[in-house]
Amino acid sequence: MIAQGRWHATTYALSLKDSSLSVAINRDDIVACDLAGRLYSVFHDGRHQRRSLNGAVLQKWASPMGTPSPGTLPVGTTTERQRRWLTDAEAAEVIDYAAAQFQQLHTALRSPAWEWVTPLDRSAALDELLSVIERAAHFNNIAARSDAARCAEVYQPIGILPPDQYLALVLQATTGCSFNTCTFCDLYQQPFRVKSPDEFRQHIRQVHDYLGASLLLRQRAIFLGAANALAIPMPRLRALFEIIHETCHSEPRRSEESHAGQEEIPRRGAARNDTPPVYAFLDAFTGTRKSVEDYRALAELGLKRVYIGLESGHDPLLEFVRKPGHAGDAIETVQTIKAAGINVGLIVMIGLGGDRFAAGHVADTIVVLNQMPLGKGDLIYFSDLVEEPGTPYPTLAQQHDIHALGAEGRSGQRAALRAGLHAHGVKVSNYDVREFVY
Residue numbers of the site for ligand SF4 (CB under 6 A)? 177, 179-182, 185, 187-188, 227, 283, 309
Residue with smaller CB distance to ligand SF4, 133 or 187: 187
* Contact between 22 and 30 (Cβ < 8 Å): yes
157: left (phi over 0), alpha (psi -120 to 50) or beta: beta
Shortest Cβ 348–ligand SF4 spacing (Å): 13
Pairing verdict, β 114-118 and 278-282: unpaired
* CA quadruple 291, 293, 295, 298: dihedral sign: negative
d(CA 14, CA 19): 14
Residue with smaller CB distance to ligand SF4, 144 or 185: 185
Residue with smaller CB distance to ligand SF4, 97 or 285: 285
Shortest Cβ 185–ligand SF4 spacing (Å): 3
- DSSP string for 93-134: HHHHHHHHHHHHHHHHHTSTTEEEEE--SSTTHHHHHHHHHH
Shortest Cβ 345–ligand SF4 spacing (Å): 14
Of the CA atoms within 13 Å of residue 306, those in its CB half-sphere come to: 29
Residue with smaller CB distance to ligand SF4, 40 or 188: 188
What CA dihedral angle connects 329, 189, 303 and 220, to 10 degrees?
-140
Closest C-alpha to 311, from 214, 197, 194, 181: 181
Pairing verdict, β 343-350 and 303-311: parallel
- Helix 407-420 crosses helix 354-370 at what angle (to 10 degrees)? 20
Chain-centroid distance of CA 54 in Å reads: 13
Shortest Cβ 178–ligand SF4 spacing (Å): 7
d(CA 173, CA 357): 36
The DSSP code for 91 is H
Shortest Cβ 289–ligand SF4 spacing (Å): 15
Shortest Cβ 392–ligand SF4 spacing (Å): 11
What CA dihedral angle connects 218, 222, 223 and 224, to 10 degrees?
140
Shortest Cβ 333–ligand SF4 spacing (Å): 13
Residue with smaller CB distance to ligand SF4, 183 or 206: 183
Residue with smaller CB distance to ligand SF4, 170 or 211: 170
Shortest Cβ 27–ligand SF4 spacing (Å): 43
Shortest Cβ 191–ligand SF4 spacing (Å): 12
Residue with smaller CB distance to ligand SF4, 177 or 372: 177
* Contact between 317 and 357 (Cβ < 8 Å): yes
Residue 152 burial (CB count, 10 A): 12
Residue with smaller CB distance to ligand SF4, 173 or 177: 177
Residue with smaller CB distance to ligand SF4, 33 or 230: 230
Shortest Cβ 321–ligand SF4 spacing (Å): 9
Residue 135 is which amino acid? Answer: R
d(CA 58, CA 72): 23
Residue with smaller CB distance to ligand SF4, 131 or 175: 175
